[in-house]
Amino acid sequence: MGRGRPERSGTVIRVAIAGGSGYAGGELLRLLLAHPDAEVAQVTSERFAGKFVHRTHPNLRGLTRLKYVPLGELSSCDLLFSCLPHGASARHIDLFLANAERVIDLGADFRLGDVGEYERFYGEPHPRPGLLGRFVYGIPELNRDALRSTSLVACAGCNATVSILALRPLFLEQVAKSAVIEVKVGSSEAGNRASEASHHPERSGAMRSYKPTGHRHLAEIRAVLNGRDAVQAGAAVAITAGGAAAGSEARTPAPLPHIHFSATAVEMVRGILATCHVFLREDLDEKDLWRIYRRAYADEPFVRIVKERTGIHRYPDPKLLAGSNYCDIGFERDPHARRVVVMAAIDNLMKGAAGQAVQAFNIMHGLPERRGLEFPGLHPA
Amino acid sequence: MHECPVCEAEVPISEDPLEGELLECEECGMELEILALDPVTLGEAPDAEEDWGE
């Protein structure tokens, strides 16, 4: 028993984390150790089996005496979080399902519903194609109802999460003709394994275009925003094939917008800033845009509109979101072109990974959505 | 409640508003001014202007 254990509020949900030694695993552990309804029973790591978890996550020293166990020693639990790299969750899914009633996968294996798209973007056949379509895509703002009743969740990619949340209101309203997304990302997105590219003299101060085209997360972004059935539990993503919101006022389906995506690594450890250039089908003024975004997000606990004309914090800034589960979104209409620039920021390890997973966990168990996720970030940071 | 002329958010007004009173919209941060009382009309507050010591 470690220090600082939270007061339990009711039935304890026993959870395990597979592949917990990475950054997403560490963040998940940090959140779950403080979660009043969760008890972390096991954390696995092959590399660090037998070691205390604070060996890899030193911020957790004194909070738990958990030690890593190998995957082969996994025992039964109520819910298993998988933070294994892509390909590994699919390979071990039978082990997970044999030990846990519910699985939340933070990796990429079960996000896409289209086998061809998976192969095209991941360069290999899907190891368990029969399971595609059984997982709910884990962005709560899209699939809250489906999350309440599912036992399988595929959390979205971090870049996909911020891009989708930034643009979805405009795509739902069918006002976007095309979109160009540029994300600036921190180094933690690349994981905790060292490489030549992450070597300090190479990485420090870098502003590196590492994926101008063909980023894997583009598959998710296109699938969701264009409403194809490629997203897991596609029916749960309430967008029809024409791109219109299901149940919304009938409009003639417009051609699917082109979506482009580039990623640049910048001098930052945590965080993503997405700058999205959206070319509009029709002219909209700023009040129209306020209405569109307010309609989409007014009741969302973790999405905030950040758009001010004065002050030094006029638009979203990932620096302010480190450790928080918020997605901040701002926009500005170009007065000289039919274009709006949408800016969105998240902490890639939180709303883009562990925070999103805990939000889904809360929804799946009928808990208040903000439970365990109240941290508002630091300022100054 | 009244509407922000910039972002259309609801802006609370005191029970005894004054003409020229300054308010801030919580959502878009715009500084607003009560331009008229009957009916209450909100507008964007002018930026502070330099009076050159006059």
- pLDDT tens by residue, A354-372: 999 999 999 999 999 999 9
Nearest CA in chain B to A290: B7
Q: Do A307 and B7 touch (CB under 8 A)?
A: yes
CA gap A218, A30 in Å, rounded: 29
* pLDDT value of residue A6: 63
pLDDT tens for residues A106-133?
999 999 988 999 999 999 999 999 998 8
pLDDT tens for residues A161-220?
999 999 999 999 999 999 999 999 999 888 878 888 888 998 889 899 989 998 999 999
Minimum mean pLDDT range among A90-99, A334-343, B44-53: B44-53
Which one, of B2, B5, B22, lies nearest residue B13 by Cα? B2
Please give the single-letter amino acid code of residue A240. Answer: T
- Domain B2-44: give its CATH code: 2.20.28.160
Encoded tokens for A327: 């997605």
Predicted model pTM: 0.91
Query: To the nearest whole angstrom, how far is the Cα of B5 from the nearest Cα of chain A?
Result: 9
Identified catalytic residue from A83, A155, A158, A327: A158
Q: Work out the pLDDT band at A255, boundaries 50, 70, 90.
A: confident
The mean pLDDT of chain A is 91
Tell me which residues of chain A, numbers 27 to 66, contact chain B at a CB-CB cutoff of 8 Å. Answer: none
pLDDT, mean of residues A320-338: 97
- Spell out the domain ranges in chain B: 2-44
Closest to A308 (Cβ–Cβ): which among B8, B9, B29? B29
* pLDDT value of residue B54: 61
pLDDT, mean of residues A69-78: 97
**CA quadruple A301, A305, A308, A313: dihedral positive or negative?**
positive
ipTM here: 0.81
Do residues A352 and A155 make contact, with C-beta atoms less than 8 angstroms apart? no
B30 touches chain A (CB under 8 A): yes
- Domains defined along chain A, listed by start: 13-156+352-364 (3.40.50.720), 158-347 (3.30.360.10)
Please give the single-letter amino acid code of residue A173. Answer: E
* pLDDT value of residue A1: 43
Residue showing tokens 């029969």: A130
Question: Is the pLDDT assigned to residue A50 strictly greater than 50?
Answer: yes
Query: To the nearest whole angstrom, how far is the Cα of B31 from the nearest Cα of chain A?
Result: 9
Beta pairing partners, A276: A181, A342
CA gap A274, A277 in Å, rounded: 10
* pLDDT value of residue A11: 87
Instruction: Classify each residue of A148-157 as buried b or exposed e, where b means 16 or more C-beta atoms within 10 Å of its C-beta.
Output: eebebbbbbb
Distances (CA, A) of A223 to A4, A158, A184, A252, A348: 42, 15, 22, 20, 20
Closest to A311 (Cβ–Cβ): which among B7, B27, B29? B29
Q: Is residue A77 flagged as an active site residue?
A: no
Which one, of A112, A91, A147, lies nearest residue A356 by Cα? A147
Q: Work out the pLDDT band at A240, boundaries 50, 70, 90.
A: very low
Which one, of A245, A192, A263, A198, lies nearest residue A22 by Cα? A192
Q: Which residues of A touch B29 (CB under 8 A)?
A: 308-311
pLDDT, mean of residues A315-328: 98
A67 touches chain B (CB under 8 A): no
Q: Which residues of B touch A308 (CB under 8 A)?
A: 28-30
pLDDT tens for residues A149-169?
999 999 999 999 999 999 999
B27 touches chain A (CB under 8 A): yes
Do residues A326 and A320 make contact, with C-beta atoms less than 8 angstroms apart? no
* pLDDT value of residue A95: 97
* pLDDT value of residue A265: 94
Question: Is the pLDDT assigned to residue A310 strictly greater than 90?
Answer: no
